[in-house]
Amino acid sequence: MKQLKETAGKIKSMEIRGAGRIARAAAGELRDYAYRIRIKDIDEFNKKMKAAAGLLVSTRPTAVSLPNAVRAVMRYEGESVAEAKSSINKLADEFISNSENAVKRIGEIGSRRVRDGDTIMTHCNSAAATSIMAAAHEQGKNINVIATESRPRMQGLITIKQLDSLGIKTSLIVDSAVRYFMKDVDIVIMGADAITANGSVINKIGTSQLALAAHEVRKNVIIAAETYKFSPRTILGELVEIEERDSSEVISKEKLGEFSNVSVKNPAFDVTPREYVDLICTEVGAIPPEMAYVIIRDFLGWGIEEMNSEGIW
Protein backbone atom coordinates (compact mmCIF):
# COMPACT_ATOMS: atom_id res chain seq x y z
CA MET A 1 0.00 0.00 0.00
CA LYS A 2 2.85 2.37 0.86
CA GLN A 3 4.46 2.10 -2.55
CA LEU A 4 1.08 2.34 -4.30
CA LYS A 5 0.34 5.57 -2.43
CA GLU A 6 3.82 6.85 -3.22
CA THR A 7 3.33 6.29 -6.96
CA ALA A 8 -0.11 7.90 -6.82
CA GLY A 9 1.43 10.85 -4.96
CA LYS A 10 4.20 11.22 -7.54
CA ILE A 11 1.66 11.31 -10.38
CA LYS A 12 -0.47 13.86 -8.54
CA SER A 13 2.47 16.13 -7.70
CA MET A 14 3.74 15.71 -11.30
CA GLU A 15 7.06 14.21 -10.23
CA ILE A 16 5.94 11.61 -12.75
CA ARG A 17 4.34 13.55 -15.58
CA GLY A 18 3.47 13.47 -19.27
CA ALA A 19 0.35 11.65 -20.37
CA GLY A 20 2.20 8.59 -21.70
CA ARG A 21 4.56 8.35 -18.77
CA ILE A 22 1.82 8.46 -16.13
CA ALA A 23 -0.03 5.74 -18.05
CA ARG A 24 3.03 3.47 -18.04
CA ALA A 25 3.73 4.25 -14.38
CA ALA A 26 0.16 3.33 -13.41
CA ALA A 27 0.27 0.07 -15.37
CA GLY A 28 3.61 -0.82 -13.79
CA GLU A 29 2.39 0.05 -10.31
CA LEU A 30 -0.73 -2.11 -10.67
CA ARG A 31 1.49 -5.04 -11.71
CA ASP A 32 3.90 -4.53 -8.79
CA TYR A 33 1.06 -3.95 -6.34
CA ALA A 34 -0.63 -7.19 -7.42
CA TYR A 35 2.55 -9.11 -6.60
CA ARG A 36 2.75 -7.50 -3.18
CA ILE A 37 -0.78 -8.57 -2.20
CA ARG A 38 -0.52 -11.55 0.12
CA ILE A 39 -4.13 -12.74 0.00
CA LYS A 40 -5.28 -16.17 -1.18
CA ASP A 41 -8.96 -15.32 -1.67
CA ILE A 42 -9.60 -14.18 -5.25
CA ASP A 43 -12.60 -11.97 -4.37
CA GLU A 44 -10.59 -10.14 -1.74
CA PHE A 45 -7.73 -9.81 -4.22
CA ASN A 46 -10.03 -8.37 -6.88
CA LYS A 47 -11.39 -5.85 -4.37
CA LYS A 48 -7.89 -4.67 -3.53
CA MET A 49 -7.01 -4.34 -7.20
CA LYS A 50 -10.15 -2.29 -7.86
CA ALA A 51 -9.32 0.04 -4.98
CA ALA A 52 -5.76 0.46 -6.27
CA ALA A 53 -7.04 1.17 -9.79
CA GLY A 54 -9.44 3.78 -8.42
CA LEU A 55 -6.68 5.48 -6.45
CA LEU A 56 -4.36 5.70 -9.45
CA VAL A 57 -7.06 7.02 -11.77
CA SER A 58 -8.13 9.69 -9.28
CA THR A 59 -4.69 11.34 -9.26
CA ARG A 60 -5.08 13.37 -12.46
CA PRO A 61 -8.44 13.78 -14.12
CA THR A 62 -7.62 14.98 -17.64
CA ALA A 63 -5.07 12.66 -19.26
CA VAL A 64 -7.24 9.81 -20.53
CA SER A 65 -4.13 7.71 -21.05
CA LEU A 66 -4.28 7.03 -17.31
CA PRO A 67 -7.73 5.36 -17.14
CA ASN A 68 -7.07 3.71 -20.50
CA ALA A 69 -3.86 2.14 -19.13
CA VAL A 70 -5.56 1.08 -15.90
CA ARG A 71 -8.43 -0.34 -17.90
CA ALA A 72 -6.00 -2.32 -20.06
CA VAL A 73 -4.49 -3.98 -16.97
CA MET A 74 -7.79 -4.44 -15.12
CA ARG A 75 -9.05 -6.64 -17.94
CA TYR A 76 -7.09 -9.44 -16.26
CA GLU A 77 -8.62 -12.83 -15.80
CA GLY A 78 -8.01 -15.62 -13.32
CA GLU A 79 -9.89 -18.07 -11.12
CA SER A 80 -7.11 -18.03 -8.56
CA VAL A 81 -4.89 -15.24 -7.23
CA ALA A 82 -1.85 -16.81 -8.91
CA GLU A 83 -3.61 -16.82 -12.29
CA ALA A 84 -4.80 -13.26 -11.80
CA LYS A 85 -1.30 -12.09 -10.94
CA SER A 86 0.20 -13.66 -14.00
CA SER A 87 -2.54 -12.19 -16.21
CA ILE A 88 -1.96 -8.73 -14.70
CA ASN A 89 1.77 -9.10 -15.24
CA LYS A 90 1.27 -9.94 -18.90
CA LEU A 91 -1.24 -7.14 -19.57
CA ALA A 92 0.83 -4.48 -17.80
CA ASP A 93 4.04 -5.44 -19.59
CA GLU A 94 2.18 -5.53 -22.89
CA PHE A 95 0.74 -2.05 -22.29
CA ILE A 96 4.13 -0.61 -21.35
CA SER A 97 6.00 -2.05 -24.30
CA ASN A 98 3.21 -1.17 -26.76
CA SER A 99 3.26 2.36 -25.38
CA GLU A 100 7.01 2.70 -25.80
CA ASN A 101 6.84 1.30 -29.33
CA ALA A 102 3.95 3.65 -30.14
CA VAL A 103 6.01 6.71 -29.24
CA LYS A 104 8.82 5.48 -31.49
CA ARG A 105 6.45 4.69 -34.37
CA ILE A 106 4.83 8.13 -34.08
CA GLY A 107 8.32 9.57 -34.53
CA GLU A 108 8.84 7.59 -37.74
CA ILE A 109 5.42 8.45 -39.18
CA GLY A 110 5.33 12.09 -38.10
CA SER A 111 8.87 12.85 -39.25
CA ARG A 112 7.71 12.38 -42.86
CA ARG A 113 5.83 15.66 -42.48
CA VAL A 114 8.97 17.51 -41.47
CA ARG A 115 11.07 18.94 -44.27
CA ASP A 116 14.74 19.78 -44.31
CA GLY A 117 15.16 23.34 -43.01
CA ASP A 118 11.83 23.47 -41.15
CA THR A 119 11.25 25.56 -38.08
CA ILE A 120 8.99 23.69 -35.68
CA MET A 121 7.11 25.28 -32.82
CA THR A 122 6.18 23.10 -29.85
CA HIS A 123 4.52 23.59 -26.50
CA CYS A 124 5.08 21.97 -23.10
CA ASN A 125 6.93 18.65 -23.12
CA SER A 126 5.54 15.74 -25.04
CA ALA A 127 7.47 12.53 -25.61
CA ALA A 128 5.34 11.81 -28.68
CA ALA A 129 6.01 15.26 -30.16
CA THR A 130 9.75 15.19 -29.42
CA SER A 131 9.93 11.71 -30.94
CA ILE A 132 8.94 13.27 -34.28
CA MET A 133 11.59 15.97 -33.95
CA ALA A 134 14.23 13.45 -32.91
CA ALA A 135 13.40 11.18 -35.87
CA ALA A 136 13.54 14.07 -38.35
CA HIS A 137 16.89 15.13 -36.92
CA GLU A 138 18.21 11.57 -37.10
CA GLN A 139 17.23 11.43 -40.77
CA GLY A 140 19.64 14.30 -41.28
CA LYS A 141 17.02 17.01 -41.67
CA ASN A 142 18.23 20.36 -40.47
CA ILE A 143 15.50 21.55 -38.10
CA ASN A 144 15.09 24.43 -35.69
CA VAL A 145 12.68 24.23 -32.79
CA ILE A 146 10.93 27.06 -30.98
CA ALA A 147 9.85 25.83 -27.55
CA THR A 148 7.53 27.69 -25.19
CA GLU A 149 8.28 27.89 -21.49
CA SER A 150 4.84 26.47 -20.68
CA ARG A 151 4.04 28.31 -17.50
CA PRO A 152 3.41 27.62 -14.72
CA ARG A 153 5.27 24.28 -14.52
CA MET A 154 7.85 25.22 -17.15
CA GLN A 155 7.88 21.86 -18.92
CA GLY A 156 9.48 23.77 -21.82
CA LEU A 157 12.74 23.52 -19.87
CA ILE A 158 12.54 19.73 -20.09
CA THR A 159 11.95 20.00 -23.84
CA ILE A 160 14.96 22.24 -24.49
CA LYS A 161 17.15 19.94 -22.38
CA GLN A 162 16.05 16.87 -24.33
CA LEU A 163 16.43 18.55 -27.72
CA ASP A 164 19.78 20.04 -26.75
CA SER A 165 21.12 16.62 -25.81
CA LEU A 166 20.15 15.40 -29.28
CA GLY A 167 21.96 18.32 -30.89
CA ILE A 168 18.79 20.04 -32.15
CA LYS A 169 18.95 23.83 -32.33
CA THR A 170 16.22 25.25 -30.09
CA SER A 171 14.99 28.70 -29.06
CA LEU A 172 13.15 29.09 -25.78
CA ILE A 173 10.38 31.70 -25.77
CA VAL A 174 7.84 32.94 -23.23
CA ASP A 175 4.32 31.69 -23.85
CA SER A 176 3.03 35.11 -24.83
CA ALA A 177 5.56 35.33 -27.70
CA VAL A 178 3.85 32.56 -29.65
CA ARG A 179 2.04 34.80 -32.14
CA TYR A 180 5.05 37.05 -32.53
CA PHE A 181 7.16 34.14 -33.75
CA MET A 182 4.51 32.29 -35.73
CA LYS A 183 5.62 33.99 -38.96
CA ASP A 184 8.95 32.13 -38.69
CA VAL A 185 7.32 28.75 -38.16
CA ASP A 186 6.76 26.05 -40.79
CA ILE A 187 4.94 23.50 -38.70
CA VAL A 188 3.57 23.20 -35.16
CA ILE A 189 3.96 19.86 -33.38
CA MET A 190 2.43 19.23 -29.97
CA GLY A 191 1.25 16.32 -27.83
CA ALA A 192 -2.13 15.50 -26.32
CA ASP A 193 -3.53 14.43 -22.99
CA ALA A 194 -6.87 13.44 -24.46
CA ILE A 195 -8.64 13.43 -27.82
CA THR A 196 -12.41 13.37 -27.94
CA ALA A 197 -14.67 11.40 -30.28
CA ASN A 198 -15.20 14.52 -32.39
CA GLY A 199 -11.47 15.16 -32.78
CA SER A 200 -10.98 17.98 -30.27
CA VAL A 201 -7.57 17.94 -28.63
CA ILE A 202 -7.04 18.46 -24.91
CA ASN A 203 -3.47 19.44 -24.16
CA LYS A 204 -1.41 21.73 -21.94
CA ILE A 205 -2.96 25.13 -21.28
CA GLY A 206 -1.95 27.46 -24.10
CA THR A 207 -2.20 24.81 -26.82
CA SER A 208 -5.39 26.31 -28.22
CA GLN A 209 -3.98 29.82 -28.54
CA LEU A 210 -0.92 28.40 -30.27
CA ALA A 211 -3.16 26.47 -32.67
CA LEU A 212 -5.28 29.57 -33.25
CA ALA A 213 -2.21 31.66 -34.06
CA ALA A 214 -1.03 28.93 -36.46
CA HIS A 215 -4.44 28.74 -38.10
CA GLU A 216 -4.47 32.48 -38.66
CA VAL A 217 -1.35 32.26 -40.84
CA ARG A 218 -2.18 28.83 -42.33
CA LYS A 219 0.59 26.90 -40.62
CA ASN A 220 -0.05 23.19 -40.14
CA VAL A 221 -0.66 21.86 -36.64
CA ILE A 222 0.26 18.24 -36.01
CA ILE A 223 -0.79 16.51 -32.80
CA ALA A 224 1.32 13.52 -31.77
CA ALA A 225 -0.78 11.11 -29.75
CA GLU A 226 -0.83 7.39 -29.09
CA THR A 227 -4.18 5.64 -29.60
CA TYR A 228 -4.66 5.30 -25.83
CA LYS A 229 -4.96 9.08 -25.60
CA PHE A 230 -8.33 8.92 -27.35
CA SER A 231 -11.20 9.13 -24.91
CA PRO A 232 -13.81 6.36 -25.26
CA ARG A 233 -16.21 7.92 -22.81
CA THR A 234 -16.63 10.99 -25.00
CA ILE A 235 -18.66 8.75 -27.34
CA LEU A 236 -21.27 8.74 -24.61
CA GLY A 237 -21.34 12.53 -24.64
CA GLU A 238 -19.10 12.94 -21.61
CA LEU A 239 -16.81 15.95 -21.53
CA VAL A 240 -13.17 15.64 -20.55
CA GLU A 241 -12.62 17.19 -17.15
CA ILE A 242 -10.03 19.96 -17.16
CA GLU A 243 -7.72 19.69 -14.18
CA GLU A 244 -7.53 22.82 -12.05
CA ARG A 245 -4.24 22.87 -10.15
CA ASP A 246 -3.17 24.68 -7.01
CA SER A 247 -2.75 28.47 -7.03
CA SER A 248 0.75 28.10 -5.55
CA GLU A 249 1.98 26.96 -8.98
CA VAL A 250 1.23 30.50 -10.22
CA ILE A 251 1.90 32.73 -7.20
CA SER A 252 3.10 31.92 -3.69
CA LYS A 253 0.48 31.57 -0.96
CA GLU A 254 2.30 34.33 0.93
CA LYS A 255 2.10 36.80 -1.96
CA LEU A 256 -1.50 35.91 -2.67
CA GLY A 257 -2.27 36.51 1.01
CA GLU A 258 -1.34 40.17 0.56
CA PHE A 259 -4.48 40.72 -1.52
CA SER A 260 -8.11 40.75 -0.47
CA ASN A 261 -9.84 40.61 -3.86
CA VAL A 262 -7.57 38.37 -5.87
CA SER A 263 -8.01 34.73 -6.70
CA VAL A 264 -5.92 32.57 -9.03
CA LYS A 265 -7.22 30.39 -11.80
CA ASN A 266 -4.88 27.62 -12.88
CA PRO A 267 -6.37 25.23 -15.42
CA ALA A 268 -3.70 22.76 -16.55
CA PHE A 269 -5.23 22.08 -19.98
CA ASP A 270 -7.41 23.58 -22.68
CA VAL A 271 -9.42 22.31 -25.63
CA THR A 272 -8.38 22.91 -29.22
CA PRO A 273 -11.22 22.47 -31.70
CA ARG A 274 -10.53 20.09 -34.55
CA GLU A 275 -10.76 22.94 -37.09
CA TYR A 276 -7.33 24.05 -35.91
CA VAL A 277 -5.72 20.62 -36.18
CA ASP A 278 -4.46 19.33 -39.53
CA LEU A 279 -3.36 15.89 -38.52
CA ILE A 280 -3.23 13.60 -35.54
CA CYS A 281 -0.20 11.38 -35.75
CA THR A 282 -0.83 8.05 -34.00
CA GLU A 283 1.15 4.81 -34.05
CA VAL A 284 -1.41 3.32 -36.45
CA GLY A 285 -1.17 6.17 -38.89
CA ALA A 286 -1.59 9.89 -39.40
CA ILE A 287 -5.30 10.69 -39.43
CA PRO A 288 -7.46 13.78 -39.81
CA PRO A 289 -9.09 14.70 -36.46
CA GLU A 290 -12.49 13.78 -37.95
CA MET A 291 -11.39 10.14 -37.77
CA ALA A 292 -10.99 10.10 -33.99
CA TYR A 293 -14.11 8.00 -33.56
CA VAL A 294 -12.65 5.27 -35.75
CA ILE A 295 -9.56 5.04 -33.54
CA ILE A 296 -11.74 4.66 -30.46
CA ARG A 297 -13.91 2.03 -32.13
CA ASP A 298 -11.24 -0.01 -33.91
CA PHE A 299 -8.07 0.33 -31.87
CA LEU A 300 -8.99 0.80 -28.24
CA GLY A 301 -11.16 -2.29 -28.07
CA TRP A 302 -13.84 -0.80 -25.87
CA GLY A 303 -17.40 -1.97 -26.32
CA ILE A 304 -20.06 0.72 -25.91
CA GLU A 305 -21.89 -1.53 -23.43
CA GLU A 306 -18.79 -1.71 -21.20
CA MET A 307 -18.74 2.06 -20.98
CA ASN A 308 -22.29 2.22 -19.82
CA SER A 309 -21.44 0.42 -16.62
CA GLU A 310 -20.76 2.42 -13.48
CA GLY A 311 -17.01 2.06 -13.35
CA ILE A 312 -14.68 1.52 -16.26
CA TRP A 313 -13.15 -1.73 -15.06
Q: At what angle do helices 65-73 and 81-111 cross, to 10 degrees?
A: 140
24 binds ligand RI2 (CB under 6 A): no
Cβ neighbours of 207 (radius 10 Å) = 28
Output the smallest distance, CB 239 to ligand RI2, in A: 18
- Type of residue found at 203: N
SS3 at position 202? strand
32 is catalytic: no
Output the smallest distance, CB 283 to ligand RI2, in A: 12
Output the smallest distance, CB 70 to ligand RI2, in A: 16
Nearer to ligand RI2, 118 or 193 (CB): 193
Q: What is the DSSP letter of 114?
A: P
Contact stretch for ligand RI2 (CB under 6 A) within 18-26, 30-38, 79-87, 252-260: 18-26
Output the smallest distance, CB 152 to ligand RI2, in A: 11
246 is catalytic: no
124 binds ligand RI2 (CB under 6 A): yes
Output the smallest distance, CB 204 to ligand RI2, in A: 3
Residue 69 has, within 13 A of its CA and on its CB side, a CA count of 32
User: What is the distance between the alpha carbons of residues 72 and 150, in angstroms, rounded to a whole number?
Assistant: 31
Number of chain positions touching ligand RI2 (CB under 6 A):
16
11 binds ligand RI2 (CB under 6 A): no
Output the smallest distance, CB 167 to ligand RI2, in A: 21
SS (H, E, C) 61-75: CCCCHHHHHHHHHCC
Nearer to ligand RI2, 81 or 226 (CB): 226
List of long-range contacts for 76-81, beta carbons under 8 Å, 24+ apart:
76/49, 78/42, 79/42, 80/42, 81/37, 81/39, 81/40, 81/41, 81/42, 81/45
Element (H, E) at 280: strand 279-282
Which one of residues 4, 8, 20, 278 is an interface residue with ligand RI2 (CB under 6 A)? 20
Which one of residues 4, 7, 8, 19 is an interface residue with ligand RI2 (CB under 6 A)? 19
Closest CA to 59 of 26, 24, 20: 26
Contacts with ligand RI2, 125-164, as mask; x by CB under 6 A: -xxx--------------------------x---------
Contact stretch for ligand RI2 (CB under 6 A) within 51-59, 121-129, 133-141, 293-301: 121-129
Contacts with ligand RI2, 256-295, as mask; x by CB under 6 A: ------------x---------------------------
First-residue to last-residue Cα distance in the chain: 20
Closest CA to 162 of 185, 145, 140, 187: 145
Helix %, strand %, coil % for the chain, to 5?
Answer: 50, 15, 35
Contacts with ligand RI2, 189-228, as mask; x by CB under 6 A: --xxx---------xx------------------------
Q: Tell me if 184 sits within 8 A of 101, measured CB to CB.
A: no
Q: Could you say which of 118, 124, 175, 281 is catalytic?
A: 124
Beta bridge partners of 145: 120, 170
Q: Which residues does the annotation mark as catalytic? A: 124, 193
Residues near ligand RI2 (CB under 6 A) are 17-21, 124, 126-128, 155, 191-193, 203-204, 268
